[in-house]
Structure 1
Amino acid sequence: MHLSESARVVFDVLAGTGTATRPQLAAGAGLSKPTVSSAVAELEAVGLAAHSGRASGGTGRSAAIYRLGPAAGAVLAVDLGPAVTRVRGCALDGTLLAEGTGSRPDAADTVRKVLDALPAGAPLRAVVVAVGDVTTRDREGAGERPATAKAGPVFDAMAVALPEGVPVHLENNVNCAALAELHEGAAVGRDTFGYLRIGVGIGLAVVIGGRVLRGANGAAGEVARLPYPWDDDRAPRHEGLEQRMGSRTLLRRAAEAWQDTDGPRPRTAERLLALAGQGHATAGAVVASHAADVGRLAAAVAAVLDPGLIVLGGGTGADPQLLPGVRAELARLAWPTEVVSSVVGDTGTVAGASRLAVAHGIQTVTGAVRAKH
């Protein structure tokens, strides 16, 4: 679709605001009112903008309100988690249109159900899939494509459910969750911070100046690859730190510490944390030791990045019980750095992926032209 530059800029502003009058579009786009009027007429003619009523002004005059038109289309965000798949379909102004949740093996079915629930005839502009490991092979300008993901056959099966010809962008799931924290979570108002996810695996997202740092190979923040252990008698192992700090090892430590008088041994990290919260002595000691480990990793993050804020997320990391131990160990080893728990919960990754999908979708219409706002 060929649009004038002014129409593309006005569309970008309209997508960012959801609804707007012509004076508001002119202010947001930095264009004259006559130019905006022509741009709006151009967008209306191709279905990218539509009249949405009128707003009364203070002088008694009213102004036409515009919204995105049906041809603007929709985007899809997929969180291909280790156990659960979450899918959201959104309009290009970020409005949620449909969502679904299913098991990881049923990812393709979940995607199809959400696609079927989108408005009939609305073009799908972009898809963002959040996965655990993304590596950029080739950089084209400012983009991240093409990329490869270590998502396995489930990703391949899910991809078959997507319409042909729609751009699919892979993004690290920790980066997506960090974007959710930035815009609607614990890091609102902070444009520089680290998001440290501790769960089955570990990962770090680095946000600087409101943008996620991806690195030369798309692998910035892969703290699982840090050499561990550093010891005269033991050589570092591949992803040894993740093996040390992941929930499987946490449960193994609990099993080793468990006494006959402690009752049934916890089979999940969630159960271990619940017992610790109930005052169970052995569970509390295991969790405290884990918090100290997380605090040491946080100290390493602070030493390299000086982020000012570290948000703890993930199935284990987001539990507030870890905060005292993490803060104490970080204070012992590094300069003052604020540490807080994630507040976006399990939906943070798909929420962040949705924001990225919307941005990519807008770019398919505007050609990456951005308004001055």
Structure 2
Amino acid sequence: MVDPIAPRAGTPASLRALNLRLVLDRLRDHGEATRPQIAADTGLSKPTVGQALLDLERYGLVRASGRSAPRPGRSAVVYQTAPDAGYIVGVDVGRRVVHVAVADLDGTVVARSEEPNRSRSGAMLLHAVAGAVHRAVAAAGLTGGDIVVTVVGTPGIPDAAAGSILRSPNLPGWERRGLLRELTSALGAHGSEVVVENDANLCAIGEHARGVARGVDVVACLMVGTGIGLGIVIGGKLFRGAHGAAGEIADLPFGQVPAGATAHRPGPMEVAAAGQAVVSAAQEAGLSSPTAKAVFDLARDGDARALRVVEAEAATLAHVVSVVTTVLDPGLIVLAGGVGRNADLLAGPMRHELATVVPLVPEIVGGHLGDDAVLVGAIATAMETAWELVFERRVLGRPAGS
């Protein structure tokens, strides 16, 4: 067991901790390097870097990976980070499936699972999510204590003050007051930090970090499936709005709410554009397609009725994009989700419709990550804080969950 530094500001211990951070950050940001390379990049002396590397190696945060290429004189030891110093978990809670991925600190997935969601209450779903995470962690050969950060993607608006997840009508019982606290407690029982985030937001983060939106300054990810939502990334950062409700486009007004539909349950735009709307429109057109996927497959095969349904769906989604474009002027619209992934059929008609109502039509593309978009966003979000938490626990001696 290595004794923690527990530094106070201005003390030698605090300077030592700062040096360790500098060296670790150099290896994290720019990859493996030798002691002379690290010294040149950080401005620290070679002896200081050598001591920092020795300490980081003792704390299990870096390791020697080999020696530099032979040159005149002695070759130098090459160091790299130790991504197995901790692990992170990403969770995507969907209406039909719960996806889980376990990754190391560099985001390399070491285990994943997909389990059906048959839950009929919030308590059942909470139990299912916790169980799926436990089984995925065990499949990776790990225990709950190895997990540093867990990020959960879910429909709705996580409200920490109320301890609830608002506006998630497609998940029975998921809006129950106090459920968010229970979920956080269950997933953090062994010391993991737990973050619960809107799934469309994580989809946008995923596509920006690893998908089609890399390098784009302003991105809007339109996620359409069982429900509908929008994730917004501006300047590389997720935009949540003042109350965390940015992108809750299900509540956009659109026509009249059908008879018998409870106000805002779900919202007007969700009624008009989500997966069930596509199925209903197909049935009204005389098709017997049981799913939105089946409708789009028929459209690809050239079925005239299915093509008309798809064109109508594109027009409805173009209405959403026109509002987003007017307010945000995004550089890219990413279509995702079970309906949105059909960009090959939707993007063209959407552009045509938009050209009649907005002066600048944004580029509209399908996401590259498919069903993994939310998980990739969850892992990317966890990676932002995981290394720092591991450093604080191993080097500074701060207990998990503090």
Q: Please classify the TM superposition score into its range, dividing by the shorter chain length.
A: 0.7 to 0.9
Matched with 2:240 is 214
1:35–1:228 Cα change, 3 Å = farther
Contact kept? 2:285, 2:305, Cα under 8 Å: yes
C-alpha separation in 2, matches of 1:57 and 1:163: 49
Contact kept? 1:12, 1:366, Cα under 8 Å: no
C-alpha separation in 2, matches of 1:217 and 1:2: 39
C-alpha separation in 2, matches of 1:285 and 1:191: 34
2:295 paired residue among 248, 265, 272? 272
Residue type at the aligned position of 1:347: D
1:74–1:221 Cα change, 3 Å = same
| Superposed displacement of residue 367, structure 1 | 5.5
Residues 1:332 and 2:359 aligned together: no
Residue pairs, 1:102-251, within 5 angstroms: 102-105=115-118, 106-120=128-142, 123-137=146-160, 148-150=164-166, 152=173, 160=186, 163-229=189-255, 237-238=263-264, 239-251=267-279
Alignment partner of 1:332: what SS?
coil
Give ranges in structure 1 of 5+ residues lacking alignment: 139-145, 369-373
* Identity across matched positions, percent: 36
Residue pairs, 1:276-287, within 5 angstroms: 276-287=299-310
TM-score w.r.t. length of structure 1: 0.84
Residue pairs, 1:329-368, within 5 angstroms: 329-334=353-358, 335-366=360-391
After alignment, is 217-226 or 20-29 more displaced? 20-29
Residues 1:252 and 2:280 aligned together: yes
Matched with 1:292 is 315
| Superposed displacement of residue 88, structure 1 | 1.2
C-alpha separation in 1, matches of 2:46 and 2:335: 47
Contact kept? 2:86, 2:390, Cα under 8 Å: no
C-alpha separation in 2, matches of 1:70 and 1:250: 44
| Superposed displacement of residue 170, structure 1 | 0.6
C-alpha separation in 2, matches of 1:257 and 1:184: 39
- What does the per-residue CA deviation read over 1:7-28, in whole Å, with 9 as the maximum and x for residues that have no partner? 1233334344564433454466
Matched with 2:69 is 56
C-alpha separation in 2, matches of 1:269 and 1:133: 22
Contact kept? 1:75, 1:92, Cα under 8 Å: yes
After alignment, is 51-60 or 208-217 more displaced? 51-60
Contact kept? 1:192, 1:309, Cα under 8 Å: yes
Residue type at the aligned position of 1:360: T
- What does the per-residue CA deviation read over 1:113-134, in whole Å, with 9 as the maximum and x for residues that have no partner? 2211335577321111111113
1:59–1:180 Cα change, 3 Å = farther
C-alpha separation in 2, matches of 1:118 and 1:27: 38
1:5 paired residue among 4, 8, 18? 18
| Superposed displacement of residue 91, structure 1 | 1.2
Residue type at the aligned position of 1:341: G
Residue type at the aligned position of 1:118: A
1:120–1:293 Cα change, 3 Å = closer
| Superposed displacement of residue 71, structure 1 | 7.0
1:331–1:26 Cα change, 3 Å = farther
Contact kept? 1:68, 1:93, Cα under 8 Å: no
Residues 1:44 and 2:57 aligned together: yes
TM-score w.r.t. length of structure 2: 0.79
Alignment partner of 2:80: what SS?
strand
After alignment, is 246-255 or 19-28 more displaced? 19-28
- What does the per-residue CA deviation read over 1:308-363, in whole Å, with 9 as the maximum and x for residues that have no partner? 21111111112011111111111221113111111110011101101111222123
Contact kept? 1:44, 1:50, Cα under 8 Å: yes
C-alpha separation in 1, matches of 2:220 and 2:90: 23
Alignment partner of 1:56: what SS?
coil
Contact kept? 1:227, 1:237, Cα under 8 Å: no
1:195–1:161 Cα change, 3 Å = closer
1:115–1:148 Cα change, 3 Å = same
C-alpha separation in 2, matches of 1:22 and 1:225: 56
C-alpha separation in 1, matches of 2:329 and 2:365: 15
Matched with 1:141 is none
Residues 1:75 and 2:108 aligned together: no
Matched with 2:14 is none
C-alpha separation in 2, matches of 1:33 and 1:163: 42
C-alpha separation in 2, matches of 1:291 and 1:70: 44
Contact kept? 1:75, 1:89, Cα under 8 Å: yes
Residues 1:310 and 2:333 aligned together: yes
- What does the per-residue CA deviation read over 1:200-255, in whole Å, with 9 as the maximum and x for residues that have no partner? 21111111111111122122111112233489xxxx95211111111112211111
C-alpha separation in 2, matches of 1:71 and 1:90: 9
Equivalenced residue count is 352
C-alpha separation in 1, matches of 2:159 and 2:37: 39
Contact kept? 1:182, 1:191, Cα under 8 Å: no
Higher relative contact order structure (alpha carbons within 8 Å, sequence separation ≥ 6): 1
1:86–1:187 Cα change, 3 Å = same
